[in-house]
């Protein structure tokens, strides 16, 4: 049976959160997913943790970069190395739920999207636990169905994204002069994928709890400048002025 999904985990010097994530993922006996971990040249603690799981589970691949690529390039490398029809990007410090993979694979089979965005919980800047997402599944088959670009900007959060594998889009992005400085490379990739084959699903399934957020002083960079840079990094089918207004 060919796996449908790669759980693609970029990691750097966080062996304990990674161990917790692998405990949850390996509790499933499903053959529908593979685990791909790309260690961005951290110390050997991460490798030791992963090798312990590899000795017991055959669906785990591990790659250690010989030098530090940076977060965005490491994410791009995971997408490039994945060998399944879909890729779920999962940060090593977010807390996934035990039924996350079945929720994702059932959504992919039902809608066959190019891009799928899932729900999550998180603690906002005021210390209040909140939820982010939709109450019912929504599927967009064309750009004209958008009354707002809010949903597209959700692609700045890596761990709720599942993308169809298409190396054409990634090759275009990697050829740009600003590729290494693109903090939200997943946003650029998502917009390019949708420009090539438009089918976007917002799933009402909750798959994880987000453990990090932005501090007040980082707002200008991470909520304004970097997303706009990612939007305009490569040509796409979307209206740039709508992103600016958003």
| Whole-number average pLDDT of the chain | 93
Instruction: Express each pLDDT in 141-154 by its tens digit.
Output: 998 898 889 999 99
The answer to whether residues 20 and 53 touch, using CB atoms and an 8 Å cutoff, is: no
pLDDT in the model for residue 214: 57
Token reading at 239: 């209206």
pLDDT in the model for residue 220: 78
CA 187, chain centre distance (Å): 9
pLDDT in the model for residue 159: 97
Closest-CA residue to 92 (of 21, 161, 34): 21
Strand pairing of 86-89 and 161-164? antiparallel
CB atoms within 10 A of CB 245: 8
pLDDT in the model for residue 30: 85
pLDDT in the model for residue 216: 55
pLDDT in the model for residue 146: 84
The answer to whether residues 162 and 108 touch, using CB atoms and an 8 Å cutoff, is: yes
Regions of the chain where pLDDT drops below 50: none
pLDDT in the model for residue 215: 58
- Report helix, strand or coil for 202: strand
Buried b (16+ CB within 10 A) or exposed e, 109-128: eeeebbbbbbbbbbeeeeee
Q: What is the separation, in whole angstroms, between the first and last Cα of the chain?
A: 44
């Amino acid at each position: 049976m060919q796996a449908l999904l790669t759980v693609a985990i970029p990691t750097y010097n966080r062996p304990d959160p990674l161990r917790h994530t692998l405990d949850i993922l390996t509790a499933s006996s499903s053959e529908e997913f593979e685990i791909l971990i790309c260690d961005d040249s951290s110390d050997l603690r991460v490798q030791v943790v992963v090798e312990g799981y590899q000795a017991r589970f055959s669906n785990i691949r591990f790659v250690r970069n010989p030098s530090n690529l940076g977060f965005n390039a490491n994410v791009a490398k995971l997408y490039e190395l994945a060998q399944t029809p879909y890729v779920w990007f999962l940060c090593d410090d977010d807390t996934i739920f035990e039924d996350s993979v079945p929720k994702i694979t059932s959504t992919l089979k039902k809608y066959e999207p190019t891009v799928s965005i899932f729900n999550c919980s998180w603690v906002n800047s005021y210390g209040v636990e909140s939820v982010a997402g939709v109450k019912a599944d929504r599927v967009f088959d064309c750009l004209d169905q958008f009354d707002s670009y809010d949903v597209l900007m959700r692609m700045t959060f890596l761990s709720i994204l599942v993308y169809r594998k298409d190396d054409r889009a990634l090759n275009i992005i990697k050829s740009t002069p600003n590729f290494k400085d693109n903090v939200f490379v997943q946003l650029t990739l998502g917009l390019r994928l949708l420009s090539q084959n438009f089918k976007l699903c917002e799933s009402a399934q909750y798959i994880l709890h987000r453990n990090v957020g932005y501090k007040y002083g980082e707002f200008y960079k991470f909520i304004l400048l970097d997303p706009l840079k990612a939007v305009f990094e490569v040509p796409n089918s979307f209206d740039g002025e709508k992103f600016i207004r958003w």
